[in-house]
Each structure stands twice: as structure tokens, then as C-alpha cells.
């Protein structure tokens, strides 16, 4: 078995240090590459760049250069340029993965995904992940906006539904990947915004084929093991730059890192019965007014 891994690396200011750790993007890219090297499978890692900065760096990867304008780079189109190369490889690898440069994904994450993907994919369920950041003492879930409450019971295991299934990467086997590239979701022929979700250009690419507004999966889920989520679902956001901005982001309504790693379940959980008509109406109403308000900004 063999996997193709692709990382876009937009590095407009090479010497800029990212707070709070005060390290450059290159530092975090190296950490990500080292973590990916632990995967228990043959791998080719491709880093997609827009200049020659990485050319003479000692990195265990293959470099792919793209000629993009400043406007294209600033808008995030490097993340979409990755897909042309991936599509050319569709018959060469068993697995395909896209991941952001500062996400640490290791052998435990891969083994977890491999095990549950074989169980769940035919049920139209996507194996999910949660990104963590380190707080003062504890790890916090990066994107989770509400505690996990609803679950699907399958073969005596509870699989909790992730309401916002965005975790800065996607991974599919060859069969799903080949089907993915035939869709509008692969070709950028869709809008990243609707009543269920609100993606920018880079988020659209990092979501892959498991977004809330897509048609491959019914839900993204994570299995419960004993009293917590499966440990393989947790990846690390190495730059760790959102926890320390949480108060400012809270004021803007974009509060991240709300819940500790060991406190992700709601006090009352229930089996998933599907979305009610009233919930869908509420989401559509909220989206309508959000769209109207943006016209006046």
C-alpha cells in the first residue's frame, strides 16, 4: 500500500514569526513532515509552493512549484492548484491525503482512520478528526462550537456526529478519490456558502468531500471508546495561535478552543434521528439574514 500526501505552503513572508511560539512557517512545516514520516505505509509527500524558498532546504518531500499571481495567492488558490497534480496520480496510489502545513498527523491518526473507514464508508459515514491546541495546562478542541450530543449506534458502538466537520485535512482511499474527482466539488464548480456552512476558498479545498453541503456522506462521525472519543481522532494544530487569541475572537463571535479535550460531550446525549423541519428553517433564516447584513458592510 502507498499514500500520496499533498501540502500547500504559502510563505509570503519567510522571516515572519508566528505568535505565541515565535517560529517561522518553515519550522512548522518541518514538524508536520516529521509527523507524517511516522505513517506505517509507503508514502510520497508533495509540498506545493509558489517561489524558490524551499529549494535548498533539507526536507523529506518532493517540491511542486506553481506560477500564480499575487492576487491568486492572497485569495488562497494555491490550495486548489494542488488538485491537478493529485488527479494525475489517481492510478498510482492506494490512498490520497490533503493536509495543511501546520497540522500534525501521525501513525495513530492513520491507523484509526484506516480501521474505521473500512467499517463506515459503506454506511455513508465519514471518519472524522478533531484538531487540538495546547492551553496553559490542557488541550482544547480547535473548531468544535458545540459539545457532542447526537450519536449513531452501529454494531454496538456509539459514533458521535461532528456538527462542524472541518479539520484542515482530508483522506480517502483510491475508489472514493476517483469518484471525488468526477464531481463538481473537485472542480471548484460550487459555492462554499449556504445555510449549512460558510467556507472561504482555502476552507473549501481543505474540506474535501465531506462538507455539510456535499453529497457523499450523511455525517462525519467519531467513535466513542469507553468514556472518551477514540484517541486516534485528535490531531495537533502546531502553530497553536488561536487559544491565545480566544478572548478577542470571543468578542467577534468566532470563539475557538471552547472545550477541553476531556470535556467534549453534552450532559444529555441522544440517538440521531435526522434534522427536523424547524431546525432546517431556522438555519435557512439565519443564513438569509447573515447574507443581507453582509451587503451593508
CATH number at residue 117: 3.90.550
Residue 284 inside a domain? The answer is no
CA distances from 171 to 158, 234, 241 (A): 22, 15, 25
Residue 296 inside a domain? The answer is no
Residue 150 inside a domain? The answer is yes
Residue of 87, 226, 217, 96 lying closest to 162 (CA atoms): 217
Rounded Cα distance, 28 and 132, in Å: 15
Pick the residue with more confidence: 189 or 224?
224
Residue 271 inside a domain? The answer is yes
Mean pLDDT of 168-190: 95
Residue 93 inside a domain? The answer is yes
C-beta separation of 158 from 224 below 8 A: yes
Whether residue 251 is predicted with pLDDT greater than 50 in this model: the reply is no
Whether residue 121 is predicted with pLDDT greater than 70 in this model: the reply is yes
Rounded Cα distance, 279 and 270, in Å: 16
CA distances from 88 to 82, 84, 85, 226 (A): 11, 7, 5, 42
Residue 120's domain comprises 2-275
The structural domain count of the chain equals: 1
Residue 39 inside a domain? The answer is yes
Q: What is the pLDDT of residue 136?
A: 87
Other C-beta atoms lying within 10 Å of the C-beta of residue 91: 7
pLDDT, one tens digit per residue, over 45-76 is 999 999 999 999 999 999 999 999 999 999 99
Share of the chain above pLDDT 70, in %: 88
Other C-beta atoms lying within 10 Å of the C-beta of residue 248: 10
Q: What is the pLDDT of residue 247?
A: 59
Q: What is the pLDDT of residue 288?
A: 59
pLDDT, one tens digit per residue, over 189-213 is 877 776 567 788 999 999 999 998 8
* b/e sequence 218-240, b meaning 16+ C-beta within 10 Å: ebbbbbbeeeebbebbbbbbbbb
Mean pLDDT of 13-24: 95
Look at the chain and count its residues. 297
Task: Indicate the pTM of the whole model.
Answer: 0.92
Strand partners, 26: none
Residue 260 inside a domain? The answer is yes
Q: What is the pLDDT of residue 280?
A: 59
Residue 83 inside a domain? The answer is yes
Amino acid at each position: 500500500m502507498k499514500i500520496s500526501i499533498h501540502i500547500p505552503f504559502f510563505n509570503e513572508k519567510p522571516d515572519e514569526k508566528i505568535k505565541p511560539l515565535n517560529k517561522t512557517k518553515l519550522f512548522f512545516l518541518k514538524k508536520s513532515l516529521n509527523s507524517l514520516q511516522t505513517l506505517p505505509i509507503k508514502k510520497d509527500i508533495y509540498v506545493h509552493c509558489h517561489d524558490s524558498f524551499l529549494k535548498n532546504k533539507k526536507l523529506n518531500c518532493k517540491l511542486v512549484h506553481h506560477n500564480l499571481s499575487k492576487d491568486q495567492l492572497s485569495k488562497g488558490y494555491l490550495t486548489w492548484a494542488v488538485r491537478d497534480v493529485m488527479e494525475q496520480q489517481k492510478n498510482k496510489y492506494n490512498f490520497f491525503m490533503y493536509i495543511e502545513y501546520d497540522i500534525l498527523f501521525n501513525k495513530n491518526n492513520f491507523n484509526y482512520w484506516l480501521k474505521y473507514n473500512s467499517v463506515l464508508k459503506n454506511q455513508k459515514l465519514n471518519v472524522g478528526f478533531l484538531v487540538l491546541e495546547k492551553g496553559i495546562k490542557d488541550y482544547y478542541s480547535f473548531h468544535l462550537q458545540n459539545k457532542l450530543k447526537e450519536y449513531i449506534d452501529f454494531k454496538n458502538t456509539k459514533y458521535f456526529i461532528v456538527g462542524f466537520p472541518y479539520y484542515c485535512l482530508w483522506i480517502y482511499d483510491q475508489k472514493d478519490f476517483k469518484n471525488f474527482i468526477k464531481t463538481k466539488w473537485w472542480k471548484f464548480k460550487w459555492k462554499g456558502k449556504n445555510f449549512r456552512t460558510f467556507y472561504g476558498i482555502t476552507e473549501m479545498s481543505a474540506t474535501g468531500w465531506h462538507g455539510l453541503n456535499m453529497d457523499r456522506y450523511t455525517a462525519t462521525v467519531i467513535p466513542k471508546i469507553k468514556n472518551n472519543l477514540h484517541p486516534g481522532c485528535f490531531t495537533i494544530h502546531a502553530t497553536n495561535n488561536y487559544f491565545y487569541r480566544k478572548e478577542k475572537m470571543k468578542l467577534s463571535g468566532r470563539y475557538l478552543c471552547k472545550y477541553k479535550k476531556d470535556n467534549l460531550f453534552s450532559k444529555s446525549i441522544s440517538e440521531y434521528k435526522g434534522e427536523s423541519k424547524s431546525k432546517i428553517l431556522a438555519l435557512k433564516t439565519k443564513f438569509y439574514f447573515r447574507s443581507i447584513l453582509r451587503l451593508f458592510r
